[in-house]
Amino acid sequence: MESLSQALSQSLTSNGVSSGHLSSLDEYHSPRSPFQDTYDRARKIESQDDRRQRILKDLRKEKRDEAVWKKYAAGFATEPDQSLVENSASRHESMCEDCEDTKPTSGAGSSPTKPGKSLPRLTLSEWLYEIPSDFDDNWLMIPCPLGKRCQLVTNRGRTSVHSKTGLAMMSGTSSLPGGNTTKRQSTSFTVVDCILDPATNKFFVLDVLFWNGTSLLDSTFEFRMFWIRSRLRELDSLTLTVDHQTYDLVELATFSCTLEILEPYFSSEEAADPCIDGFLFYHKNGSYVTGTTPLVCWLKPFMVQEVLRIPVRADVLSTKPSDYVNLQTFVKGLEAKKPPRSDKTPRKAKARNMNVNLKEENADLQE
């Protein structure tokens, strides 16, 4: 075999093929396709379902519950009572949808609580591009009303409402543990993931992160749903009072993602309610992951038939935008409308970089 290789190599050299340009016989017989890099990259791209399974596997290995609980418990224990109170002017501004991404500034009229300092980030959903492989067995669907995503935080006898970016919206008292003056211990804090509908003065409960000082971050979504519902039903009332105005806390319906359950639901008038903003899909075994995760997915009502291949009512399809093509095109359009990310480099860092560049230029000139 070696003699055959040597003979072929000598033959190639005599025909003008230099050994310096031929690293192996395989390279000669099977030239690399110019599209090979594209193929390799495509193989490396994970599907949404693959990412989901990988994240679930990683979550089983992580033990973050105790460390995260200590972090927030320490923050709530040192939080002054008045740090969660907002004046009426700030509250009115933060109730506007345009204020969702506004960063609070220090000074008079603003909250001394900094976003992200002692508040956990909320779980954010991905678009549901494909039916998960375990959709029937391991997924739950929640119809979500129109409203503003927020979190209810109780601590030291006060209940505050914060936007998903951490901006304080309002503060008062509630029936939740730690949210009223009957129980003011620093360890008695609760954090609930909600949707606020200002038109009806209702908080729709989506999820729970902490309850009466107990962390539920590492619990599965299925268990968190059981926990929050059983605990809410134990309370005498489900209300939040702010400036003599009462808000109700309301449970949201949950549906198993089987064809036998979803098909009749989407053909009903309930699914065609114009107050429904969309549908959240939760993996039963998912922990509470802060930030965007494929373990929680989202669809607008008119996308259900396209993605889930379940028939929906004609009045639901009529809400589809006139220029709608498909989900992928719709999402690309939303991404294109986003403003470009601004340069967030601090001024001191910019000045430091400028000085370094000037020194380098001076050194080049001296040389």
Q: Tens digits of per-residue pLDDT, 5-17?
A: 555 455 544 544 4
Q: What is the pLDDT of residue 152?
A: 94
Mean pLDDT (the chain) is: 75
Q: What is the pLDDT of residue 236?
A: 86
| pLDDT (average), residues 122-141 | 95
On whether the CB atoms of residues 204 and 157 are closer than 8 A, the answer is: no
3-state helix/strand/coil string of the chain: CHHHHHHHHHHHHHCCCCHHHCCCHHHHHCCCCCCHHHHHHHHHCCCHHHHHHHHHHHHHHCCCHHHHHHHHHHHHHCCCHHHHCCCHHHHHHHCCHHHCCCCCCCCCCCCCCCCCCCCCCCEEEEECCCCCCCHHHHEEEEEEECCEEEEEEEECCEEEEEECCCCEEEEEEECCCCCCCCCCCCCCCEEEEEEEECCCCEEEEEEEEEECCEECCCCCHHHHHHHHHHHHHHCCCCEEEECCEEEEEEECCCEECCHHHHHHHHCCCHHHCCCEEEEEEEECCCCCCCEEEEEEEEECHHHHHHHHCCCCCHHHHCCCCCCCCCHHHHHHHHHHHCCCCCCCCCHHHHHHHHHHHHHHHHHHHHC
Whether the per-residue pLDDT at 225 is higher than 50: the answer is yes
More confident residue, 188 or 18: 188
| pLDDT (average), residues 34-50 | 54
Residue 98's pLDDT band, with cuts at 50, 70 and 90, is very low
Residue 21's pLDDT band, with cuts at 50, 70 and 90, is very low
Domain ranges within the chain, ordered by starting residue: 48-97+113-321
| pLDDT (average), residues 205-223 | 93
Residue 101's pLDDT band, with cuts at 50, 70 and 90, is very low
Q: What is the pLDDT of residue 109?
A: 34
Residue 295's pLDDT band, with cuts at 50, 70 and 90, is very high
| pLDDT (average), residues 320-344 | 86
Q: What is the pLDDT of residue 185?
A: 55
Q: Regarding beta strands 202-211 and 214-215, do their DSSP bridges make them parallel or antiparallel, or are they unpaired?
A: antiparallel
Q: Tens digits of per-residue pLDDT, 230-261?
A: 999 999 889 999 988 999 999 999 999 999 99
Q: Tens digits of per-residue pLDDT, 260-272?
A: 999 999 999 999 9
More confident residue, 325 or 115: 325
Q: What is the pLDDT of residue 97?
A: 38
Q: What is the pLDDT of residue 263?
A: 97
Q: What is the pLDDT of residue 121?
A: 84
Q: What is the pLDDT of residue 180?
A: 85
Whether the per-residue pLDDT at 299 is higher than 90: the answer is yes
Residue 63's pLDDT band, with cuts at 50, 70 and 90, is low
To which CATH superfamily is domain 48-97+113-321 assigned? Answer: DNA ligase/mRNA capping enzyme (3.30.470.30)
Cα separation, 293 vs 125, in Å, equals 6
Q: What is the pLDDT of residue 131?
A: 95
Q: Tens digits of per-residue pLDDT, 141-162?
A: 999 999 999 999 998 889 999 9
CA distances, 269 to each of 145, 273, 274, 315 (Å): 15, 7, 10, 10
| Its pTM surpasses 0.85 | no
Residue 35's pLDDT band, with cuts at 50, 70 and 90, is very low
More confident residue, 351 or 112: 351
Residue 182's pLDDT band, with cuts at 50, 70 and 90, is confident
Q: What is the pLDDT of residue 5?
A: 52
Percent of the chain beyond pLDDT 70? 62
Whether the per-residue pLDDT at 348 is higher than 60: the answer is no
Whether the per-residue pLDDT at 30 is higher than 90: the answer is no
